Amino acid sequence: MFRYLPITSVFAALAAYGADEAKPTYLRDVAPILNKAGCTSGPCHGAAKGKNGFKLSLRGYDPHFDYESLLYDLAGRRFNRADPGRSLMLAKPTQQVAHEGGLRFETNSRYYKMIFDWIAAGVPYGDPARDAVERLDVEPQQITMNGPGEAAKVRVTAHYADGGSREVTEDATIESNTPDVAEVAGDGVKGARVGEAALLVRFQGKFVTLPVTVLNPKPGFAWKALPQHNYIDQHVDAKLQTLRIQPSPAATDAEFLRRVSLDLTGQPPTPEEIRAFLSDRTPSRAKRSRLIDKLIASPAYVDHWTVKWADLLQNSRKYLGEKGAYGFQEWIRQSIARNKPYDKMVRELLTSRGSSYENPAANYYRVTRDAKPTMEKTTQVFLGVRMVCAQCHDHPFERWTQNQYYEMAAFFSAVGIRPAYEVGEEIVYDQRRDYEMKHPKDGRVMKPNFLLPAAAVNGGAIPADPQRREALADWLTSPANPFFAKSAVNRVWSYFTGIGIIDPVDDIRASNPPSNPALLDALTKDFIDHGFDLRRLMRTIADSRTYQASIQTNEWNEKDLTNFSHAIPRRLKAEELMDALTLATGVRPVLPDVPPDTTASQYVDPHIGKEGFLDLFGRPARESACECERRADLSLPQALNLVNGRTISDAVADASGRIAKAIVGGKSDRDIVEELYLASLSRPPSAEEIASAVKYLAAAEGAGARGRAARAQDLLWALVNSKAFLYNY
């Protein structure tokens, strides 16, 4: 029989319901505390093997795993439901019990009270349909400061699956990608120096990137427009004007000649080429454009860019054998010589099958051999996306999940490699059984799937049979793929400026934003619109005023390193340095593996001249597809080699070298000095340099040709040990 409840009972029931709704849960309330307190960080329990026998997922990417670990590890002894304050989960972080991680929060803190209440409520997990964070809002959406020392607050709001929201600024993690520009201070940011940075705001698996700009506070800035050669300059200037940065004017003709020759061909110009270019009275812009076309059409251009791609594709006898390495190098050379469209070149690599001798592109699979490293190399080289973190867990700073890692790897799981008939030859083929990719956690078969929804880039279905790579190639090289063309133009741009618009160039992610998004978008569109033409892309970059800018700075751009307001000197790459030394001295190093007239840019792999000059100066071993494998730093062993090493001293003093020929040919001291400056520094000496050098050579009078040669060798040794020789400026 139905009966009415007293009104007090109704209110009591409502109060109980409301109290139940207000109970803290692990998902909504406790997990953020563990993340903020650092319990799930790499140095603590989020390490690969945990800490002191207890493991949590890195940065809390797997809350269900963490919850079960807390509940069931040590037979649940981390909680004392009868007396929550005596729970290890509270006693350790407050150091009431010895804790190697130190004090994480105080007993009178909000974090303590929240965990106390959660334990008292029975440690509920929560409902993912209600308590999971769906998105973050960060205010403001960008921060601009008028100078160092200014500060700005950040407000972070989490929006939940049940439609609710709350401010989580105090619990969110805020980090700066450039702390010496924008320093995180509490719930905000403080400008440290003029420049740009990005704040990465993270909370419960969601993140937002917030751009921060610290302007130059110095008064008196007035924009002075410089000539704009193409759309590159328009986008660069627009950004510089906003940042109150005045770009440097163009480099001299001699500086441009050396820079563009090294960047396009890996070779410095010869004295004859320098004299011809400097004496040409054609307007500078026209003769520079003509020079760019000439260099791109040269055999040295093909050699130079073959090295670049052989590095990325890891062409080496270590993996491919001698015949395989030479065949793969020739395939790369022919692709560059014919200006094969970039998308076609990549497609041929990804879909390659058959004999590694008859189809050299198949060597792409012989290096990595297994599905997972092949996928990691493919995404890093051709998409600029590093997937390696997602092999063990969801990516902590990006959208990529562990499931996506194995779905992408599944495209390569059917690739088989077996021996062929000739020694060193192998066959790349599609396996027909036992080829499925399985998830390491539960063993389920992972079907191949794209990183992004297929409809966004290509509507084609993914085949269920082993021949899946065609579908991957369609998706990856599609003009609609937001990573493929962008990563290519960003990488090429870095080869001409020393830094990518996104840097590192093979780490494109939301938390690593481009320094000039409009410029990157324009370059990407132009590259796609012109059929993925790499030569045209390089010509466009080299023809811009931005690329041709001087290294000389002004009061407004002297601290700028990321906005391309001036050229930044770059140490010559190992092969460039060896070939520049050959030109300066007139002597090419003799190596038993190659003919005497072979340039360093023509060496097939790092086994030629191994552990010698080239390796010392940063030639990559080609054991990784990362750009970081090639080093361009200066070290003490390099400095000692330059000063005392036999490579330079023997070349300078060689009896068949440039100095010996000049003296035997009867050249005057002035002519010798000019020749040495042109051959080493790619410019004529100044009047002061001529006078000083001629005076030094003349002091050998009476010592005969040998004494004169010795002094000329001293001069050449000094020139090739100078920064002007070692750097591309």
Q: Using CB atoms within 10 A of its CB, is residue 287 exposed (0-12), middle (13-18) or buried (19+)?
A: middle
| Span 620-631, pLDDT tens digits | 999 999 999 999
Average pLDDT over residues 23-30: 93
Our CA angle for 618, 619, 622, nearest 5°, is 125
pLDDT tens, 71-118? Answer: 887 767 788 888 898 898 999 999 998 888 899 999 999 999 999 999
Domains of the chain with bracketed CATH:
18-128 (no CATH), 132-214 (2.60.40.1080), 319-333+352-482 (no CATH), 574-617+634-728 (no CATH)
Q: What digits encode the pLDDT tens for the residues 131-185?
A: 999 999 999 999 999 999 999 999 999 999 999 999 999 999 999 988 999 999 8
Q: Out of 49-53, 152-156, 607-611, pick the least confident.
A: 49-53
| Residue 12 confidence (pLDDT) above 60 | no
The pLDDT assigned to 16 comes to 35
- Residue 240 has a pLDDT of 96
Q: What is the pLDDT of residue 622?
A: 96
| Interhelix angle 371-382/402-409, nearest 10 degrees | 100
pLDDT of residue 459: 57
Categorize the per-residue pLDDT at 702 as very low, low, confident or very high, splitting at 50, 70 and 90: low
Per-residue tokens: 700:
């050998």
The two tokens of residue 726 are 């070692």
Residue 2 tokens read as 């139905």
- Token pair for 228: 């704009």
pLDDT digits 0-9 by tens, 354-407: 999 999 999 999 999 999 999 999 999 999 999 988 777 776 666 788 889 999
Q: Using the predicted structure, report yes or no on whether residue 569 has a pLDDT greater than 60.
A: yes
Q: Which residues contact 185 (CB under 8 A, 6 or more apart)?
A: 151
Per-residue pLDDT at 716 exceeds 60: yes
Spatial CA neighbour of 160 closest among 124, 130, 203: 130
Q: Where are the beta strands (DSSP E) in 635-699?
A: none
Who wins on pLDDT, 22 or 141?
141
Coil, helix or strand at residue 630:
coil
Residue 11 has pLDDT above 60, yes or no: no
Using CA atoms, how far residue 681 sits from 114, 315, 497, in Å, is: 68, 32, 20
- In angstroms, the CA 208 to CA 184 distance is 15
Sign of CA dihedral 655, 658, 661, 663: negative
**Rounded distance between C-alpha atoms, residue 234 and residue 241, angstroms:** 11
pLDDT at 412 (0 to 100): 95
Query: What percent of the chain is predicted at pLDDT more than 90?
Result: 74
pLDDT band at 550 (very low <50, low <70, confident <90, very high): very high
State the amino acid at position 587 in one-letter form. Answer: V
CB of 580 closer than 8 Å to CB of 572: yes
Q: Is the pLDDT of residue 19 over 80?
A: no
State yes or no: pLDDT of 7 exceeds 80.
Answer: no
Average pLDDT, the chain: 91
Identify the helix (H) or strand (E) that includes residue 12: helix 7-22
Q: What is the pLDDT of residue 497?
A: 98
Is residue 566 within 8 Å of 251, Cβ to Cβ?
no
Give the angle subtended at the CA of 52 by the CAs of 51 and 56, to the nearest 5°: 40
SS3 254: helix
Token pair 């990137």 in the structure block, residue? 209
Looking at per-residue confidence, does 443 or 409 come out higher?
409
pLDDT of residue 579: 97
Rounded CA-CA distance 703/709 in Å is 10
Of 52-66, 191-205, 555-569, 648-662, minimum mean pLDDT range? 52-66
- Look at residue 488 and tell me whether its pLDDT is greater than 80: yes
- Write out pLDDT tens, residues 497-534: 999 999 999 999 887 899 999 999 999 999 999 999 99
Q: Identify the pLDDT of residue 323.
A: 96
pLDDT on residue 590 = 86
**What letter represents residue 11's amino acid?**
F
Tokens (6 digits) for 491: 């990488």
Q: Which of 513, 419, 506, 413 is nearest to 141 (CA)?
A: 513
Rounded to an integer, what distance in angstroms lies between the CA atom of residue 573 and that of residue 334? 23
* Residue 18, pLDDT above cutoff 50: no
Q: Quick one: which of 177, 172, 135, 178 has its CA closest to 155? A: 172
Average the pLDDT over each of 124-138, 385-399, 480-494, 552-566 and give the range with the smallest value.
385-399
Half-sphere exposure of residue 491: CA atoms within 13 angstroms, side-chain side: 25
User: Where does 266-337 have alpha helices with state H?
Assistant: 271-279, 284-296, 299-312, 317-337
